Structure 1
């Protein structure tokens, strides 16, 4: 799980992992990379997070906000891995994330192949 100080940084990274997201609180609105980046920039300008808060991006590109250093509020859900098991807290996230033995990329739990290099996972 990667950490970022701004929503725009998180969105830029997530856009390298996926190309479509749904807003967590509205299953009808779909965001492509361009729309996500514009929304992230506006969010940073209008509602910057406090210094104790940060954004996290899951291995599939789902974006969440962590305001207390522990609980994660998932905001933009990756449409690339709709069945991703998202952790509710940072401590459970650190136990849940797996890494590719070949390239070191984070892999989605249950994935059979690494999205970064294509290595078969066991």
Structure 2
């Protein structure tokens, strides 16, 4: 055995084949890797959002962004052939964690937004199957 393969086995020791049986049961055939099962149709949104201290505006950032796309002042965003502007909502925060935009802006909590528009924080149908 070469010195290089000894180094590899020290960094990543071989695991018994049975160690991934649970993945096979959960995801099916894993010849080239394991794809997790389909996600439920409800997700938790973890990003922070901010609104101007003067309160909500008449136009959302998404509407503003769509108008800029229409007049050609910004380019469409595509990732792996998917037009993000066609399938998503523009939040103005970019991809990843939202950062404090600076003076004049305040953090808007999701619970506050839900109360404002009359929606529950967690839809009733989600709570039905929850333990507790």
More strand by share: 1
> TM class, shorter-chain normalised?
under 0.3
Superposition TM-score, scaled by structure 2 size: 0.25
Superposition TM-score, scaled by structure 1 size: 0.26
More helix by share: 2
